[in-house]
Amino acid sequence: MPRHTRILLGLVIGGLLGIASNLWLPADLVSTVIKYAAYPAGQIFLRLIFMLVVPLVVSALIMGIAELGEVKSLGRVGIKTLFYTIIASSISVVLGITLVHWIQPGHGLDSATQARLMTEFQGPAQQAVTFAQKSKDPIDIILSLIPKNPIAAATQALEGEMLALMVFSLFFGVGLMLVEERVREPVCRFLEGVRDVSMRLIDLVMDFAPFGVAGLVYTMTGRFGHEILGHIALYVAVVIGGLLIQQFIVYSTLLRLLGGLSPRWFFSNIKEVMLTAFSTASSNATLPVTLEVAERNLKLPRKLATFVLTVGSTANQNGTALFEGVTILFLAQVFGVDLTLGQQITVVLMSILAGVGTAGVPGGSIPLIVIVLQTVGVPGEGIGIILGVDRLLDMCRTCLNVSGDLVIATLLSKSEKAALPQQAYARWLKRQEA
C-alpha cells in the first residue's frame, strides 16, 4: 500500500475514533486514552521528525546554496523566490480579507458566548499577550535575523529562531562557493552525508506516520469541543473557504498560466505532503517529506527545490497569512472596533510579513496575531475566542503553507528551464491520454 494511503487511513481512523469517543464515551475515559495512548503516539512521531529538522535544514540549505554553483544564480533564484512569495501571500491575504468583509462572521457572535470563550481560554490567551508585550520593535526584529551565535539559533530554531539559523546557513553556503575546491570538497562531502543520513532517518520515521497521525488526530477530535465550533462556525467557514479557494483555484490558475501544467498532475503528486502537513500542523516537520516528494514525484531539480522549499517552510506561509488577516478582522468585528482604511492596510501588510516570520510549528502564528491585534487597537486577550478551534484551522492552513512552497518551487523550476519536471509531466500526460 503506498505511503500516502496508509497515512490517510491513519488520519481517517484516528479522526473517526476520536469523534466517536467524544460523542459516546465518558470524558474521563477519553482523557485517559488520550493521555496514555493517542498523545504519546502523536508526540513520539512529531518529536522524531523535529529532532531531525535542524540537522536537515542546516545541511540541506548549505548544500543547496553550494550546489547552485555561483553567487549570481543564487541571487536570481533568491529574487524570484521572494517575488513569488510576495505575490502568493498577497493574493492569499486579500482573498481572506475580502471574504471577511463580505460575510461579516464577527457580527453574529453574542456577548455571552464571547465572554464565556474568553474566560475558558484565558490562560493561553494571557500567555500569548505576555509574549507579544515582550516582543521587540521592528528594527530589533530585523537585526535578530542575523544571529550572533548560530549554535544558540540552532537550539532555539523551533521556538522562533529558524529564520536566523537559515540566514547563517545561507551565509555559510555563500562562503563555501567562494573558497577553493580543495577546502570546499571535504566540507561538502560531510554536509552531504549529514543531509542524506537525515533524509534516510526521516524515511524510517515516516513508516511510523500512520500511527503517529492517528494519535495526533485522535487527540484533536477526541477533545474537540463541537459546541465551540457551532458558535464561531461562520468564522471557521470563512477561513477554510479562503484556504480552499487559494489551494484549488488560485494555485491551479498559477500552475496553468505560469507553468503550463495540469493542477491535477500537481495535486495527485503531492498528496503525501498535504496529508503530513494536515496531520502534523507543522511546515517544518513536513519539510523532509516535501523535499522527498519534490524530487521523487515532481522531479524538481534538487538544488533548486532544496533552497526554495527549505526557506519556504518558514518564510512562505500563504495559509498562515490568510488566517492572520481573517482572524484579526473577525476579532475587530467581534469587539466592534472599526478599522480605518490605513489600519486595514496595516493588517494586510503585517499579515503578509507574519507569513514570513511565523515559525513553522503548531500554533506558530498565535503570538503574531496578538501583536497585530494590539497594533490596531483590538484587545489581545480576544485571541481566546478562537483558540478552541485553532488546532483544526492550523491543520488546514499548514496544508496550504506547504502546498504553496511546492507551487513556487515548481514554477521556479519551470522558469529556470529545468528539463526533468517537463519530461515527467509529458509522461503523465501520455498516460492520461492512453
| Of 280, 292, 216, nearest in space to 56 by CA | 292
Among 372, 297, 264, 361, residue whose Cα is nearest residue 328: 372
Which residues in the 191-210 window bind ligand ASP by CB under 6 A?
none
Alpha carbon of 21 to those of 147, 210, 228, 319: distances in Å?
Answer: 47, 19, 17, 30
- The three-state secondary structure class of 310 is helix
List the one residue from 362, 380, 384, 404 that touches ligand ASP (CB under 6 A). 362
Amino acid in the structure at residue 291: L
Of the two residues 245 and 258, which places its CB atom closer to ligand ASP in the complex?
245
Stretch that binds ligand ASP, among 50-58, 297-305, 372-380, 396-404 (CB under 6 A): 396-404
Stretch that binds ligand ASP, among 30-38, 55-63, 211-219, 276-284 (CB under 6 A): 276-284
Q: Which is nearer to ligand ASP, 74 or 250 (CB)?
A: 250
Nearer to ligand ASP, 62 or 277 (CB): 277
The CA distance from 317 to 398, in Å, is 8
317 binds ligand ASP, rule: CB under 6 A: yes
Locate 354 and state its grid cell. 507574519
Smallest gap, in angstroms, from Cβ of residue 191 to ligand ASP?
25
C-alpha span between 14 and 223 (Å, rounded): 12
* Shortest Å, Cβ 91 to ligand ASP: 17
Site for ligand ASP contains 318 (CB under 6 A): no
Candidates 163-171, 377-385, 391-399, 407-415 — which segment interacts with ligand ASP by CB under 6 A? 391-399
- CA 62 and chain centroid, separation: 22
By CB under 6 A, name the one of 21, 320, 351, 403 that touches ligand ASP. Answer: 320
Among residues 365, 403, 410, 413, which is the contact residue for ligand ASP, using CB under 6 A?
365
407 binds ligand ASP (CB under 6 A): no
Q: Give 347's contacts (C-beta < 8 A, 6+ positions apart).
A: 97, 325, 328, 329, 339, 372, 376
Is 332 near ligand ASP (CB under 6 A)? no
Q: What is the rounded distance in angstroms from the CA atom of residue 317 to the CA atom of residue 353? A: 10
Q: Which string of b and e fits 134-160 if b means at least 16 CB within 10 Å? A: eeeeeeeeeebeebeebeebbeebbeb
Give the C-alpha distances (Å, rounded to integers) separating 363 from 77, 145, 281, 318.
30, 21, 8, 15
d(CA 408, CA 377): 35
Q: Which is nearer to ligand ASP, 163 or 361 (CB)?
A: 361
- Least Å distance, CB 425 to ligand ASP, is 27
Outline where 245-301 has alpha helix (H).
251-259, 263-269, 271-280, 283-296
Examine residue 282 and tell whether it contacts ligand ASP (CB under 6 A). yes
Taking CB under 6 A as the criterion, the residue among 283, 327, 403, 413 binding ligand ASP is 283
Q: How far apart are CA 384 and CA 390, in angstroms?
A: 10
List the grid coordinates of 84. 513569488
Shortest Å distance, C-beta 365 to ligand ASP: 3
Q: How many residues bind ligand ASP (CB under 6 A)?
A: 16
Nearer to ligand ASP, 284 or 413 (CB): 284
Q: Which of 352, 394, 409, 418 binds ligand ASP (CB under 6 A)?
A: 394
Distance set, CA 31 to CA 45, 80, 394 (Å): 20, 48, 22
Q: Which of 360, 367, 382, 421 binds ligand ASP (CB under 6 A)?
A: 360
Nearest approach, Cβ of 290 to ligand ASP (angstroms)? 11
Could you say whether residue 358 binds ligand ASP (CB under 6 A)? Answer: yes
Give the helix, strand, coil percentages of the chain, each rounded to 5.
85, 0, 15
Q: Which is nearer to ligand ASP, 269 or 398 (CB)?
A: 398
Q: Does 272 bind ligand ASP (CB under 6 A)?
A: no
Q: Kindly state the DSSP code that residue 37 receives in the 8-state scheme.
A: I
Q: Which stretch binds ligand ASP (CB under 6 A): 90-98, 105-113, 233-241, 281-289?
A: 281-289
- Position 52: which residue type? L
175 binding ligand ASP? (CB under 6 A): no
Question: How is residue 240 written as a grid cell?
Answer: 477554510
Q: Which stretch binds ligand ASP (CB under 6 A): 92-100, 125-133, 332-340, 355-363?
A: 355-363
In the list 363, 381, 420, 422, the residue contacting ligand ASP (rule: CB under 6 A) is 363
Q: Is 364 in the site for ligand ASP (CB under 6 A)?
A: yes
Min separation Cβ 360 and ligand ASP, Å: 4
Buried b (16+ CB within 10 A) or exposed e, 318-350: bbbbbbbbbbbbbbbbbbebebeeebbebbbeb
Check residue 279 for interaction with ligand ASP (CB under 6 A).
no
Q: Which residues bind ligand ASP (CB under 6 A)?
A: 281-283, 317, 320, 358, 360-365, 394, 397-398, 401
